[in-house]
Amino acid sequence: MSLDIDRILEDLVNLNLPKEIEVDMLCTKAKEILAEESNVQYINSPVTICGDVHGQFEDVLELFRIGGEVPEINYLFLGDYVDRGYRSVETFLYLLALKIKVGIISIRTGLRLFEEITKLGRLLRLMDFMMSASEK
């Protein structure tokens, strides 16, 4: 089975979650990309900096509608993608799919804990998310 990122993005916009195998493939591909990235990222300006989306999927879609779509606009997401909002899984999967599709969206985990800014910390958080997504 191949990973159809465009269909996954469209399904998520329509509030349809991907199949479990697609979520697994999406997370595996994102893990590969994130593992190769440096902890220090150079981002071309101008850039729109976004933080603490907290699973507010509709707000993320509105941000892209008002601010512009990737890859025309550079975005830096600082973390806190999930919790509080009803659509945490959709939010995180959408950002991962964009990361895989365009490669220029920057996803960071935040600066609260040292382990979060290391590759291992990012991979562990991604694996935790995969387990949470499979339960949903």
The model carries a pTM of: 0.76
Report the distance separating Cα 26 and Cα 22, nearest Å. 6
Q: Residue 7: is its pLDDT beyond 90?
A: yes
Report the distance separating Cα 98 and Cα 120, nearest Å. 22
Residue 119: give the domain boundaries: 5-135
Q: What is the total count of domains within the chain? A: 1
How much is the pLDDT for 64? Answer: 93
Q: In 3D, which of 105, 86, 109 has the Cα closest to residue 95?
A: 105
User: For the residues 91-97, what does the mean pLDDT come to?
Assistant: 90
Give me the CATH number covering residue 53.
3.60.21.10
How much is the pLDDT for 110? Answer: 45
DSSP of 52-76, one letter per residue? --TT-HHHHHHHHHHH--TTTSEEE
Highest averaged pLDDT of the listed ranges 50-59, 60-69, 83-92: 60-69
Query: Could you tell me which residue, 80 or 117, shows the higher pLDDT?
Result: 80
Phi, psi (rounded to 5 degrees) for 82: -120, 175
The percent of residues in the chain predicted with pLDDT above 70, rounded, is 76
Q: Residue 10: is its pLDDT beyond 50?
A: yes
Q: What is the pLDDT of residues 98-133, one digit of tens each?
A: 989 987 566 555 444 334 445 555 665 666 666 666
How much is the pLDDT for 131? Answer: 67
